[in-house]
Each structure stands twice: as structure tokens, then as C-alpha cells.
Structure 1
């Protein structure tokens, strides 16, 4: 009988904790392309949300005594979908629902996005330095082996 070979693969990325919810940021090269394009992807989602709410006219000025709850809800939904799209693009589909279930505060979650983006960018830079150091170490090791053979 042949023995099974088992090769472990470690995911590239790091945990990110938002409140009490621990998420995983995939920092693979493939996912980084999505991350650095998050604004464009989120803008596409925003356009979709705006299309859904297109039939509603949002007034330029709001008169507190004459508030149309339907219009307020529609505006809220467009903004919420935009924020949700950004979380889902960064951490994967369904992430926003998971966070919003525990923290139903769209303003707080919107503000947290900037903090999350800055923290992730910083960690990506640290990982890139680590990757560069690893490549340099392997390169030097190969050069040393080659020099010893001569």
C-alpha cells in the first residue's frame, strides 16, 4: 500500500478583530488586487443601490416637520448597502451582516471602515517587508551555495 502524502498549506493573511467579532483578512496576492480596488468595486455596488432607489426623489433640504419616512429609509438603505459592500469586499460575502447583527450602528461601522483600512494597509506593508527579507535570505543562501561549489 502506498502512503498518503500530506502537505499543509498556511493561508496568507491575518486576523482582524472588529469589536468582539474576529475576521480573517486574506492578504494573498490575488486578494490584494481586490483590496486595492475596493473603492471602485464599492462604487459599482453604490450605483446598483442608487438604481434601486432611483424612483425616490431626495429633497435638497429637509424640513423636520415634513419628513417622509420612506425617503429617509431609502437614503439610509443606499448608504447601508454601500458600507456593506465595502466590508464584504474586504472580508468576504456576508461579513457585513455578521457585524451589523452585533453592532447595528451604521455610523459607527462606517467610521470603523477607515480605521480598518489604515490598519490593514499598515499590516500589508509589514508583510511585504517580511516577504522581501525572505526572498533576500533565499537569494543569499543560493548564492552562497553556488560560491561554495566553485
Structure 2
């Protein structure tokens, strides 16, 4: 781990995003609350929050940080769902890994909840994919 003991505590913020590509009928089922496993986006929101709080346990060189705010939103398209995660902290190191971890777990949770609808006849996922996970913004004051 990097020694951050000499750094000042400042307000920090990171926003990350990513997308999951699905069949249009799967996106409609999510919008209409017709997925057998339950409310997909609310479950994905909870997964993101849990992931953010546990980032240092999943990524070995991340510091444990005090998270002061989390916001998770979703935007549904015809065949995509975009997740946007904002994380804030007051501390000595950034929060971009927490935001990326939150986006990743939100999208993986969506996949897990709709995988039965996404499989083809051979049990594969030809239409399903997670893409464009990236940091949109990172600031410190």
C-alpha cells in the first residue's frame, strides 16, 4: 500500500459509469417489474452500495476510507442499462476505485437477475455484455 499518512484530509468525489447490453425484451421486463428474481434496479442499487463500502476488502491495495455519500442511478435505453455511481469522502485518498467497484457490481447484479431471459438455446449469452466502465469525473477540494 502507498503511505498516505502525510496527506491532508480533503473532500473527494468520483463519478463512474458503465453499461450492460441486453435484449430489448429483457429491458422492458425490468422496466415493467416482470423479472422473476424481483426488482432488478433496486437490487443492483443495493449491490453497488454494499460493494462501495467493501472495496478495500475486494481490491488488495485500496485503503479503507470513510465514505460520506453514495448515489446510484440508472438510465434505461432500448437495449442497454447505464449505471452511474457517485461516491464522496473526506479523507487522504481518492474514491474512484469505490465508484468503479460500485458500477461493476451493480451491472453484474443486473446480469445475474436476468440471465435466464438472456440465455440462448445453447445456454450462452450472445446479446449480453458489460462495457464502457470508466471514471467520468474525479475531484478533490
Above 0.5 in TM-score? Answer: no
More helix by share: 1
More strand by share: 2
TM-score of the aligned structures, taking structure 2 as reference length: 0.35
- Structure with the greater alpha carbon radius of gyration: 1
The structure whose RCO (Cα within 8 Å, separation 6+) is larger is: 2
